[in-house]
Structure 1
Amino acid sequence: MLGGYGGFGARIARRLAAAGHEVLVAGRSREKAERFCEGQPSLTPLGLDRDLGLAAALAEHRPFALIDAAGPFQGTGYDVAQACIAAGCHYLDIADGREFVGGIGVLDEAALAAGVAVIAGASSVPALSGAVVRELAVGVERISAVEMAISASNRATAGPSVTKAIFSYIGKAIPLWRGRRPHTGHGWQDLQRLDFSITGEATLRGRVVGLADVPDLALLPERLPGRPAVTFRAGTELAVQNLALWLASWPVRWGWLADLSRFVPLVLRAQKLTSGFGSDRSGMMVRLFGLAGGRRVERRWTLIASGGDGPEIPGLAAAILVDRLAAGSIAPGARDAGELLALAEFEPAFSALAIRHEATEWPQPAALYERVLGARFLAMPASVRAMHGVLRDDGASGRGTVTRGNNPVARLVAAVFGFPAEGEHVLHVSFTEKDGAETWTRDFSGNRFTSELSQHGEHLVERFGLLRFGFHLEADDRGLAMHLKRWWLGPVPLPLALAPRSLAREWEADGRFQFDVPIALPLVGTVVHYRGWLERK
């Protein structure tokens, strides 16, 4: 095992030895390996530099499998895996590098020819996370979003490799799939504060997590029905640490710094100084939103590790997979670990540790437009209903035509609200839903403007900044019409006589969702008029 005396490697080595395996504990420091193996007859120390002499060591010792727990894997190649293939031994790693794990399939042909398995990502992601998601997805016909988070105990301090891996992407662009199209986030931004809760356990409250770059962001949208939006956030227990990383992410995002790698030694020292704060409890959460039997649901899996057992979790998948390789139940070839294990296979290890987990299902309320319209919602054409059935995340693409008013006041208003330029446009609309409200981001050939929609009594309310507009909705088998009935500046109602003139319409033609939205001002005339079509794909 490479990195066999490191933070995660040591735990995997002990676990394998306890299961009856003979383990070569390898690393650059023979002295550290000897200290770690002392008094443990199933563990044998080996001084080995992965960059020098790996092929010779494999030829000499002829291991059944090699586990690479050294890392970091971001920005590295497949030299170790290729050496294993050449030596005819199985290969596993605990990589969480998105490109490294996602690209392991390039070795498939060589691994098949050698008759060995090459498995990347045998860790919390994507092995455990993938197992959880597949368990939650049973019986869900269309998944709209998957949201994952890990919050580590402050006493489970990250080692140099993990810290280097995290710092390699803080502030960097992270490709995401949101709104049913490619999207860009940034490492350790988009912060959220989450509670991790399990029946009978004290809740982990207010844990701050930020956007992390993991293989699941690329793997899961392609593997799940509905091609859902996928996000993954991570964080340490202490909010101040996450806020510091968030602040540090901005100079990287702005291009002032290439990355934060130079600060890793400083951060490791700071971790030691603060290790006495916080608790020994860690959490992991996976939330899946979708339609199950036509019902709008959130399925949630939550894990809480106590007693300092959280750091054991990243090593569980590797140990399970070694047993399966020994049993001959994994076919040769190169693949990521995201589809290899079932959640039940982790249960014996969870039960032996201070780890509890729980899956729950939460019914989700009807979509916003359905709540406002009631029974009338079902009368509308199918494509109109589908466009307004937003659950957590959705999107649609099409074409739009924009006409702008020529009055100087109209041009000023259009500029303030960010309305698109006149002409023909490629159009995409992203929808996000949270707590019953929706955010619509309309993208006309790169010109974006956003509004927020919610319910106010019998009205649908759309907010642009401080201005809110209340609409009465009419719906029948021909489509939907939106009549402006009220408007406000902040909490202050404004006279309807001064309100913009707008009668938005939606209908179906040629199997597509069609829309027509004119906006005019009294005495000014047309501000903007956009119309076109959209499709959900």
Structure 2
Amino acid sequence: MSGSALRILIIGGYGTFGARLAQLLCDDERFCLLIGGRSLAKAAAFVSSLGGKAGKEPVEFDRNGDVYKQLSALAPAMTVDASGPFQTMGGDTYRVPKACISLGIDYADLADSREFVRGIAALDAEARAAGVFVLSGLSSLPALSFAALDRLEQDFSRIDHVSSGIAPSPHADIGPNVMRAIASYAGKPVPIFRNGISTTGLGLIEWHRVTVAAPGCIPLKSNRFRLVDAPDLDLLPQRFEGLSSVFTGVATKPQSLQRLLAATAQLVRLKLLPSLLPFAPLMYRASKLFAFGEHRGGMFVHASGSDRAGQPLEASWHLVAEGDDGPFIPVTGLEVLIGKLANGNRPADGARSAAGEFPLEAFERCFERFAIHSGTRHVRPGEVNLPLYRRLLGSAWERLPRAIAATHDTAEGGHRLSGRARVERGTGFLASIIAAAVGFPKAQDDVAVRVCFTTKGRTEFWTRDFGGAEFGGVQLEGQGRDAHLLAEDFGPFRILMAVVPDGAKLRFIIRGWRFFGIPLPLVLAPGGDIYEEERESRFHFHVEIGGPLTGLIVRYAGWLEEEVS
């Protein structure tokens, strides 16, 4: 390790988020990482498991001890507080940033405490005089949420309503300190801005239903986002003059755990319990016990108001993270900051919240190494009749190959296409009955195909003709819990699909089905490998329909091109 390596102390360095920050930085030999925590043994064990090129030292650090003495001995260039919870910090709340200022050490934290982030500005004059920066809340809320809002704001002349929320994967270990933070305000009054006035909501009780659907990937299941006491609730009314309402929420998954937390929050509201803080360890164990469902998480920011022409506008930014990648999201802002610092690009001196400190592009560059997808969606009154697939795909529409985009870029009146296909049919009894009922074509090696689809309002009517055998369907955008999914109706059945660009292909992934509106088990849903693709500038299709009870029902594949009138 070079003597010029930047010494970075990570308080909580072996915890849920501190460990992930260390993993992001450990391959950069410009850094010396001081992995700090109350247990030197745990710090040492984590350091021994951490590879990479950066220097690493396990250190004992107690945030509740003599902070000035500990920082003086370690002499970091920068301190990162990733320990939390900031909501329940006793004694001198700002003892760590104050000691950093006194010693000329730059400071940043992952605080999601509304009061902590709001109060950090009281240290501004001291930080400026010492020539250091003190940035608080460099996490999903408010740093990333404000970066997303800055992106959305470009299309607005006025923003009236803002809501945002985080939906962690049920398998993500959010850590006991995060659960303590949630428990601190569950069931208690939360100051909130609503209908243009300051009022109160109820933590973990009030909710908004949202479907997080990053353009171009499978949406998360529709979730209730329950009110949390986040810094954004203070910062947003300061940022946007005339703002009417704000909301920040968390969608704990699975829904059974969320209902349990909401029920216990009601006990606090009814004053049957003074607080859920004593139950935070139990709540944390419950989150581990209820860790089932899809290993996916996400986040959204939604704004509504008027566009530059004075017309109503809704815009939203969505993010979806797959598997274990989600918990890296809160520390990407710190990665951006530390990378800039190592390159000599320092933030301005002073103490402030990290809201708006970095643009969304900086976060997106960090996301590229992960299975993290994000994008924007816009709704204008004049665009409600945009082609169905444009509405579904949002900003991901631009990623479609030309042949696929041309096929689905339908105006009123629709398209007529023709080509050739090969058809296979299942031989099972149930498969034969279903194929005959729907009108699927018989098995043929080479058959003429004609597809006509017409658009009426927000609905597309499809007719497929295979050598004279016709079958039809109705395609439309799902609503409510099925928002951002493609719905196709075949008689009493409705199939719900995510529409996902994948290189030269557009894939259709089954996410649910209904019979006369009644949800049926997804495990029994008909499905298979369904996609469209561009090959040699021509539109090709591949549709495979089958199920665990039926086996293969039908498989047809071929090509189409627009008919010349």
- TM-score w.r.t. structure 2 length? 0.63
Q: What are the equivalent positions in structure 2 for 1:483-502 lying under 5 Å apart? A: none
Moved more, 44-53 or 212-221: 44-53
SS in 2 for 1:86: helix
Q: Distance in 2 between matches of 1:234 and 1:189?
A: 11
Alignment match, 1:278: 293
Q: What are the equivalent positions in structure 2 for 1:436-455 lying under 5 Å apart? A: none
SS in 1 for 2:24: helix
Alignment match, 1:36: 46
Q: What are the equivalent positions in structure 2 for 1:96-245 lying under 5 Å apart? A: 96-245=112-261
- The answer as to 2:44 corresponding to 1:18 is no
Q: Distance in 1 between matches of 2:97 and 2:215?
A: 42
Alignment match, 1:5: 14
Alignment match, 2:80: 67
Q: What are the equivalent positions in structure 2 for 1:321-336 lying under 5 Å apart? A: 321-326=337-342, 327-336=344-353
Q: What are the equivalent positions in structure 2 for 1:244-255 lying under 5 Å apart? A: 244-255=260-271
SS in 2 for 1:99: helix
Question: Is the Cα contact below 8 Å between 1:208 and 1:237 reproduced in 2?
Answer: no
Match of residue 378, structure 2, among 355, 361, 386: 361
User: Structure 1, residues 201-255: CA drift from partner, whole Å, max 9, x if none?
Assistant: 1121222221111000010111024324110110222011111111111121122
Q: Distance in 2 between matches of 1:18 and 1:226?
A: 46
SS in 1 for 2:323: coil
Question: Is the Cα contact below 8 Å between 1:207 and 1:238 reproduced in 2?
Answer: no
Moved more, 250-259 or 336-345: 250-259
User: Structure 1, residues 336-359: CA drift from partner, whole Å, max 9, x if none?
Assistant: 000211001111111111000011
Letter in 2 for 1:201: C
Letter in 2 for 1:71: G
User: Structure 1, residues 495-517: CA drift from partner, whole Å, max 9, x if none?
Assistant: xxxxxxxxxxxxxxxxxxxxxxx
User: Structure 1, residues 158-192: CA drift from partner, whole Å, max 9, x if none?
Assistant: 21110000000000101111101112101011223
Match of residue 58, structure 1, among 60, 63, 71: 71
Match of residue 365, structure 2, among 348, 373, 390: 348
Question: Is the Cα contact below 8 Å between 1:298 and 1:361 reproduced in 2?
Answer: yes
Q: 5+ unaligned residues in a row in structure 1: which ranges? A: 367-537
- The answer as to 2:347 corresponding to 1:338 is no
The alpha carbon displacement at 1:59 in A equals 1.4
Question: Is the Cα contact below 8 Å between 1:299 and 1:359 reproduced in 2?
Answer: yes
Q: Distance in 2 between matches of 1:140 and 1:80?
A: 39
SS in 1 for 2:215: coil
Q: Distance in 1 between matches of 2:139 and 2:28?
A: 18
Moved more, 51-60 or 354-363: 51-60
User: Structure 1, residues 461-516: CA drift from partner, whole Å, max 9, x if none?
Assistant: xxxxxxxxxxxxxxxxxxxxxxxxxxxxxxxxxxxxxxxxxxxxxxxxxxxxxxxx
**Structure 1 residues 269 and 139, CA, compared in 2 at 3 Å: closer, same or farther?**
closer
The alpha carbon displacement at 1:273 in A equals 2.3
Q: Distance in 2 between matches of 1:153 and 1:95?
A: 20
Question: Is the Cα contact below 8 Å between 1:151 and 1:235 reproduced in 2?
Answer: yes
The alpha carbon displacement at 1:138 in A equals 1.3
Alignment match, 1:85: 101
Q: Distance in 2 between matches of 1:142 and 1:151?
A: 28
Instruction: Name the count of aligned residue pairs.
Output: 365
SS in 2 for 1:113: helix
Letter in 1 for 2:44: E
**Structure 1 residues 143 and 67, CA, compared in 2 at 3 Å: closer, same or farther?**
same
The alpha carbon displacement at 1:32 in A equals 0.4
SS in 2 for 1:322: helix
Letter in 2 for 1:166: I
Letter in 1 for 2:35: V
Q: What are the equivalent positions in structure 2 for 1:292-311 lying under 5 Å apart? A: 292-293=307-308, 294-311=310-327
Alignment match, 1:509: none
Question: Is the Cα contact below 8 Å between 1:282 and 1:304 reproduced in 2?
Answer: yes
The alpha carbon displacement at 1:306 in A equals 0.5
- The answer as to 2:43 corresponding to 1:27 is no
- Alignment RMSD, CA only? 1.6
**Structure 1 residues 211 and 221, CA, compared in 2 at 3 Å: closer, same or farther?**
same
Q: Distance in 2 between matches of 1:237 and 1:265?
A: 18
Moved more, 2-11 or 223-232: 223-232
Q: Distance in 2 between matches of 1:223 and 1:75?
A: 27
The alpha carbon displacement at 1:271 in A equals 2.4
The alpha carbon displacement at 1:364 in A equals 4.1
The alpha carbon displacement at 1:34 in A equals 0.5
**Structure 1 residues 175 and 138, CA, compared in 2 at 3 Å: closer, same or farther?**
same
Q: Distance in 1 between matches of 2:298 and 2:375?
A: 12
Letter in 2 for 1:284: M
Question: Is the Cα contact below 8 Å between 1:33 and 1:45 reproduced in 2?
Answer: yes
The alpha carbon displacement at 1:157 in A equals 2.7
User: Structure 1, residues 303-341: CA drift from partner, whole Å, max 9, x if none?
Assistant: 000022111101111121122334233111000000211
Question: Is the Cα contact below 8 Å between 2:172 and 2:327 reproduced in 1?
Answer: yes
Q: Distance in 1 between matches of 2:226 and 2:189?
A: 13
- TM-score w.r.t. structure 1 length? 0.66
Question: Is the Cα contact below 8 Å between 1:92 and 1:120 reproduced in 2?
Answer: yes
Question: Is the Cα contact below 8 Å between 2:127 and 2:351 reproduced in 1?
Answer: yes
The alpha carbon displacement at 1:199 in A equals 3.2
Alignment match, 1:257: 273
The alpha carbon displacement at 1:264 in A equals 1.4
User: Structure 1, residues 246-296: CA drift from partner, whole Å, max 9, x if none?
Assistant: 111112112221110111121222222232x11210011111101112121
User: Structure 1, residues 96-119: CA drift from partner, whole Å, max 9, x if none?
Assistant: 000100110000011011110011
Question: Is the Cα contact below 8 Å between 1:96 and 1:215 reproduced in 2?
Answer: yes
Letter in 2 for 1:245: L
